[in-house]
Structure 1
């Protein structure tokens, strides 16, 4: 038997019209199908927690309706299970919004499963925390913590499916779990069938970032050409009971699926290809084979698995001081030299007026803004220098007034020169940092709640 899964989003802010072609393609399969939406990153979740602080009804995925409204009715009527970490910091709020979408589609009794238990903020003092490898920071004070979320595995999502949920809404789960859960459900894989679980995690990993595997992030003009960038097809994975899989995309869509696109995504965020740690299994990619078997069809096999770790990764986001950003533009002849003079003037002013503990970075956008602007892109060092440059200042400090003073010094360049500066923008915010920890698996207690539309459904 084949189980087919499409991915309609790879991050919060992804294209919201992607799921339509996916659902159209999934409905053509004579096989169990699921549609997953992966919309969470670590800072995405922290930002969602901040939104919930000011709005108790907020904190879930802002684009939920845009993602789901065009396809929810078709999915429910066609038996396509929907799984998404739309819940972010507030899975119950996301559930209410999905229920409203289902009611608007004349399906008021849609079966909605909500998975929570990843949020550990209320239990910080009672858990055993170990800093993640490379981290040396002790657990922040509880009053500074904005978010503390464990990466759940597929088990609670599988429970929701066994309770016949048509839509499964989660907070923080490991991204591949959104695919592994329906694969376990339909294929009946045992919780200790490590090679099959590894194949399921691999399937989820290959499609979790959306169009990264169908050419989007792959594209590099003149080096790696990709057709139809404006109409990229989002990925589909066809998975057999024995773990063999094929990556493809909806017919007629842009992009491409090749051995090269699959290989790049295969290694994305993989630190150790022989031991990719997930809550469900340790995935070994060292014997994986990739083979083109048709246009936009790539077969992948050879995943191996070992027992899952005894600990779960938990990301803690916390407030730590303030940050600010300010920019000013210089254009026309000698723009790079004028922007460089502005930078050096600003550097000296900050040294004279701000505490030594101020941390500052200067970038000449148009000359150097991704790499350190203090190392490359020195004025006069490049031939054919641009005539449109933007000086960017980024600062951070424990005290907001210091950050505001630093960005005000850039604002003063309007009249304090050099000539021709304009278009100043400034912004200030609390500084949000993240750190990762490990906690014993048994200390995390996922919960699954089933609803019929807006009504709580008893087990």
Structure 2
């Protein structure tokens, strides 16, 4: 019988439920569970954590994840791979060590991947950044920089597995890297075996959002998806030729079908002929999906092209302050009341000389999701409306002034329905994101992989 590798999806974002992954660990008969915990917004959140406490900067839910999963996974030899390290993978490794020690797993091996963080070397790396003529440069944010990370691919994770890691912790990687690495490692695929590596990357793309491929967030016949309260995360059974079968743990809710798989397949796709990752450029247009049984979809015929000569850089910078809040209004004339409150707030902002860079308003219950595409409605048909009002300012003091304008409108404005009176005038710092490309050779030559044990410090 030919070898099969079974991979389960862990969590699809920071804060996602880990319980379906625990079910996979118990009943999924997998060798790996892989997690994609990072998004651009997540990096900003983690930077705020690190700024408050230099030992933080990784996803805090890694503590719960390891406490739940290690007792099931480590004795069975199920390996865990996650980019939960975020801004501070060393801190995440130290937390995993602490949890492992508390569970009595002193001999666990934790792979630490470093090299994505280039914050301290931006000036030296500047000649290797690639931008088009006329494009902005990171240097315009130099006095406001907070972090700078490069999207790494699967190769350093493969190296950690070769060194015997039971758990692999990385910083910023592509969403698919955690899932692709076990296949490259298990089947000893060459890094330039473009079609097979492309298949591994597609697998990662399909599994990265946890339950989104098993019927969660499904826009088709979502009413017919059963037992979403107990949704199962996807499991992929992969053959050596790169083809794979997507399924889920038996007895869990949700659904795996060509339709649910295609929903995730089209997620965040720009050019389907040219899906760029550090590991390979994938051509999605050749892929074949087949329903082969209940909750089983076979995926095959993935084609790949040589990997690009560059990697993506993500740079975060201070981008002013936000003041925001909500006011709720009820029938009759809920929308008119909200519009009047908006008018009053804008006049008061001008009267008080609050300096704004941007003002954003929306009516929750009418256009907050669809914006200008929202259908015109009769105001009296709306039972309630919440006005969301936000400003962006350069100075913290200006954002703070805005928060104090909301509460008085409860008695000094249109008839008030109650609720949503802001956040006590507390402004929030905003982070901006700048991205560009960099020569991959200068980055990958500095990437390191280290195996850390419970009795060895991560450095």
Q: Given the two structures, how large is their TM-score scaled by the length of structure 2? A: 0.92
How far has the Cα of 1:310 moved from its partner? 0.5
Unaligned runs of 5+ in 2: none
Instruction: Give 1:128-207 correspondences, 5 Å limit.
Output: 128-131=128-131, 136=136, 138-207=138-207
The aligned residue for residue 321 of structure 1 is 320
- Residues 211 and 235 in structure 1, CA contact (< 8 A), matched pair in contact too: yes
Between the aligned partners of 2:328 and 2:187, the Cα distance in structure 1 is: 58
The aligned residue for residue 453 of structure 1 is 454
The aligned residue for residue 45 of structure 2 is 47
The aligned residue for residue 19 of structure 1 is 21
Between the aligned partners of 1:245 and 1:430, the Cα distance in structure 2 is: 44
Q: Decide which structure has greater helix share.
A: 2
Between the aligned partners of 1:94 and 1:420, the Cα distance in structure 2 is: 47
How far has the Cα of 1:435 moved from its partner? 1.6
SS in 2 for 1:286: helix
Instruction: Give 1:392-403 correspondences, 5 Å limit.
Output: 392-403=388-399
Distance 1:132 1:176, change over 3 A: farther
1:208 maps onto 2:224 in alignment: no
Instruction: Give 1:23-102 correspondences, 5 Å limit.
Output: 23-27=25-29, 33-102=31-100
Between the aligned partners of 1:135 and 1:301, the Cα distance in structure 2 is: 39
Paired residues in the alignment total 450
SS in 2 for 1:159: helix
- Residues 130 and 439 in structure 2, CA contact (< 8 A), matched pair in contact too: no
Q: Given the two structures, how large is their TM-score scaled by the length of structure 1? A: 0.92
RMSD: 2.2
Between the aligned partners of 1:401 and 1:390, the Cα distance in structure 2 is: 26
Unaligned runs of 5+ in 1: none
- After superposition, give the CA deviation of every residue in 1:138-171 in whole Å (9 maximum; x if it has no partner): 4443331112110011111111111011110111
How far has the Cα of 1:268 moved from its partner? 1.0
Between the aligned partners of 1:74 and 1:392, the Cα distance in structure 2 is: 45
Distance 1:457 1:170, change over 3 A: closer
Distance 1:208 1:281, change over 3 A: same
SS in 1 for 2:236: strand
Between the aligned partners of 1:181 and 1:305, the Cα distance in structure 2 is: 16
- Residues 67 and 99 in structure 2, CA contact (< 8 A), matched pair in contact too: yes
- After superposition, give the CA deviation of every residue in 1:217-237 in whole Å (9 maximum; x if it has no partner): 1156x6653111111000111
- Residues 108 and 452 in structure 1, CA contact (< 8 A), matched pair in contact too: yes
The aligned residue for residue 340 of structure 2 is 341
Most deviating of 96-105 and 327-336: 327-336
How far has the Cα of 1:357 moved from its partner? 4.8
SS in 1 for 2:427: strand
- Residues 11 and 210 in structure 2, CA contact (< 8 A), matched pair in contact too: yes
